[in-house]
Amino acid sequence: MNNASTAACKQAPGVIVPVVSFKHCEGKGDCAVVCPEDVFEIRRIDTQDYERLGTLNRFKLRVHGMQVAYTPNADACRGCGLCVTACPERAITLARAK
């Protein structure tokens, strides 16, 4: 991680986590590219998550290859917000960890 990333990340790991809206995410991967903490993974949407979506969102996901961003390393997030800025679909928000 470079010094610019360190300066942007104000929180201790795990205080803030990224929340991805599968209704908006198209799995383009910009979040994974910019994240200095390797929080994101772009992969096929899980069946359970897919089934919770409405018809229009399901169709949109099929058009975009059924790929979405998951956050398997969310506890490493330091709240820099680079993923929020990078996401072209505005599918990511930051929230306090529960």
Give residue-wise pLDDT tens across range 12-54.
887 899 999 999 999 999 999 999 999 999 999 999 999 999 9
Whole-prediction pTM: 0.85
Asked if pLDDT for residue 62 goes beyond 60, the answer is yes
Supply 51's token pair: 């089934």
- pLDDT category, 11, cuts 50, 70, 90? confident
Three-state DSSP at 28 gives coil
The structural domains of the chain, with segments of one domain joined by +, span 3-96
Assign domain 3-96 to a CATH class: alpha beta
What is the DSSP secondary structure assignment for residue 74, as one 8-state letter? G
